[in-house]
Each structure stands twice: as C-alpha cells, then as structure tokens.
A and B are shown apart, each in its own frame.
Chain A
C-alpha cells in the first residue's frame, strides 16, 4: 500500500498562511495525491487533489514537488474554522479498484 508521512501536529496564528507538508516517497507514476480534513465530530471533507502540477481551488493550494515524492497543502489565511486533522492520501490500486488509505494526519491548531 502507498504510504504518506505527515507531522503529528502543527500550530498557526489566525490570518497567517499555513504550509502542511506530506512525504510520499513510494508514490508511483499514476498515484493521485488527495487532501481531506476532518473537523471535530464530522466526517472527512475533501480539500484538494492533484497529479503532477500545482493546483488551486477556493479552499487551498497544493504544491507538488517535481519528483512527486512530497507535497504541501497551503491554506492562505488560516481561520479558527480551519482547526482540524488534515489527511494526505494516496489512492492505491486494490484487486477490485482504487483504495483510499488514510495516513495518520496532521492536527492543525489555530490560535486567535
């Protein structure tokens, strides 16, 4: 199974940018990199995904290293609502299809 490695926790000040790193050194050429977040007492929520190029959407940006062995999720201005566990995920090929294997995640604390 493809694996991702993330820091256990990070802290940010409100209204400042946050860079959440993820290492995925065993990534294969066809693996997409997905990010989800989980707020307290809720199901995970999609944030962003990409394959090779950097990606932007209304929630965040995803910067993918040229060798694809690492990526960084960028929240441009953290708010208190962004306090959550952020999961970096590679979708792996199973015998019947693609499996979503969650890594341990990074718990983001946002200070007012």
Chain B
C-alpha cells in the first residue's frame, strides 16, 4: 500500500469554527509533512514531523496546530482561520526525513474559509 489518504476532501468553515484535517499512511514511514498550496502556486512547507516529533515549523501562525498521535497519523487542527487561509492542504510522508528520501503525497484537502 503506497497511499497517503487525507480526509475530508473538501471543507468549508467559518472564521470562528474549529475543525481538523486528517492524514494517514500505512507504509511504515517515519517522516510526515504538511504543505499549503494556493491556486497556481507551488506547495509551501508548513510542518515536518520526524519519528512523531515536530522537527520543523516554518513560522506558521498558531491558528494552525499540528499533531502526530502515532507513526501512521497526522492531524492539522484549525481554529479562528482567516479567508486568506483558504487553500489546498497537502500531507506527505517519507521513510525518513533524510535528503534522498522520496515523499508520497496525498490528494489534499481543499479548505474554504468564509
């Protein structure tokens, strides 16, 4: 199984809502990633988890809160978002976070903040 799954596929939320994005992989990968992608732009790295520990936070606002409950799961908790946070949120995993490792991406969650 070489698949990264993400739920939900689409999410519409108001600025006062709290919601969570979920990502799952069963490839035994020990590195997991969150990216944000705006329309017609490349993905931008948000967070990196290595062996369930947060190793990189790219100065992401605190209204985005990542969580890695175990080696297969990665969550992104959302609270008090702004309309400009509307984007495609991509999850990825790789065997480790070493330079030469290939990343497997999920299909993304398309988020709209109203």
Contact = CB atoms under 8 A, between A and B. Distances in A.
Interface residues of A, number: 27
Contact of B33 (A45, A94, A100): A100
B104 A102 contact: no
A98 B105 contact: no
Nearest to A42: B107
Contacts of A21: none
Interface string A80-106: 000000010001001111111111110
B108 A43 contact: yes
Nearest to A105: B42
B100 A51 contact: yes
A95 B56 contact: yes
Contact of A30 (B45, B56, B92, B99): B99
B43 A102 contact: yes
19 contacts: A30-B99, A32-B99, A32-B100, A36-B103, A43-B92, A43-B105, A44-B92, A44-B103, A51-B100, A87-B42, A91-B99, A94-B48, A96-B56, A97-B50, A97-B56, A97-B97, A99-B45, A100-B45, A102-B44
Interface of A: 30-32, 34, 36, 41-46, 49, 51, 87, 91, 94-105
